[in-house]
Amino acid sequence: MNRTLALSLLATSLLGCASDALVLEQDSTYQVEWIGERPLIDNSHLTLTLGEDGRAYGSAGCNHWFASYEMKGEQLSFGQAGSTRKMCAPALMEQEARFLEALGKVQRWDVSPIDQLRLWPAEGKPIRVWPEKG
């Protein structure tokens, strides 16, 4: 009887985990934490939202950005990104340029062992994002 109870509890807990799986969702906003090899500059705020209409947009830290995107399962790609043209501190402008360049190289997404979403280029380290808390 104890073995049956233990197996039932294990199955229930596994089902609970499966239903809470993190996925990249349309019309949800994600906070960027890392771009490739480097974390964001302290107190900078980069975001990513994938609209249901095939347009992605957000804050690149200084300017607002926008691009088309295509997602099929775990495959993800972005069109050429555009942005507003406001000038900020040189370090923020460099980070923004790295982010927009990295977006153009994204080919797929997955979830890390710590439940963080990662946007992977063909080569190199991913853009790492978390769901934005509302």
Which pTM does this prediction carry?
A: 0.81
pLDDT one-digit tens code per residue, 35-47 = 999 999 999 999 9
pLDDT band (50, 70, 90) for residue 96: very high
Determine the CATH number of domain 24-131: 2.40.128.270
DSSP 102: H
Domain positions in the chain are 24-131
* SS3 per-residue string spanning 18-85: HHCCCCCCCCCEEEEEEECCEECCCCCCEEEEECCCCEEEEEECCCEEEEEEEEECCEEEECCCEECC
pLDDT one-digit tens code per residue, 47-87 = 999 999 999 999 999 999 999 999 999 999 999 999 999 99
Rg for the chain, CA atoms, rounded: 18
Q: State how far the Cα of 125 lies from the Cα of 132, in Å rounded to an integer.
A: 21
